Amino acid sequence: MSLALAPIDMNVDLEANLPCRKFDPDLWFSDSPAQLELAKSLCGDCPLRAECLAGAVDRAEPWGVWGGEIFERGAVVARKRPRGRPRKVDVARDAELAVEVEERLAANGLESRNSVRLAA
């Protein structure tokens, strides 16, 4: 098992106001889809977002929000679904979010389907 981490930009102050350091860490590992979406949005301006995402992909993080993406069983998912049968509107939204995940991974220099397994 590799614990490889992405290289950290040493120009970034590690004591900066990183969202995962400022807010409750449990937010990034919540069971609530709404709280996970909030955590994703807080990652948006983080200076270490790309490194965090790359490290999580390398480690196949089992769950949580890493680099602005939700991981579930080692795969990036568009959003966490609540329990029960999904509504038709949610199924359509999932298709849109899958495209968004692909675009975000490409923007961070990751080959989406080749380097990250997307959960169905």
CA 40: distance to chain centroid?
A: 7
pLDDT tens, 16-53? 678 888 889 899 999 888 899 999 999 988 889 999 99
User: Mean of the pLDDT values across residues 93-101?
Assistant: 81
Q: Is 31 a known ligand-binding residue?
A: no
Q: Look up residue 36 and give its two tokens.
A: 């996970």
Of 46, 47, 67, the C-alpha closest to 57 is 67
Q: Is residue 50 part of a domain?
A: yes
Tokens 């579930």 locate to: 72
Q: Is 97 a known ligand-binding residue?
A: no
User: Mean of the pLDDT values across residues 94-112?
Assistant: 78
Q: Is residue 13 part of a domain?
A: no
Which domain range does residue 41 map to? Answer: 19-116
Q: Look up residue 89 and give its two tokens.
A: 């509107």
Question: How many structural domains comprise the chain?
Answer: 1
Q: Is residue 51 part of a domain?
A: yes
Q: Is residue 1 part of a domain?
A: no
Q: What percent of the chain has pLDDT over 90?
A: 31
Q: Is residue 12 part of a domain?
A: no
The per-residue pLDDT for 55 is 93
User: Mean of the pLDDT values across residues 73-87?
Assistant: 75
Q: Is residue 97 part of a domain?
A: yes
The alpha-helical segments, DSSP class H, found in the chain are 19-22, 33-42, 49-59, 88-107, 112-115
Q: Look up residue 24 and give its two tokens.
A: 């409750």
| Cα angle 98-71-62, degrees, rounded to a multiple of 5 | 145
Q: Is 20 a known ligand-binding residue?
A: yes
Q: Is 34 a known ligand-binding residue?
A: no
The per-residue pLDDT for 112 is 53
pLDDT averaged over every residue in the chain: 78
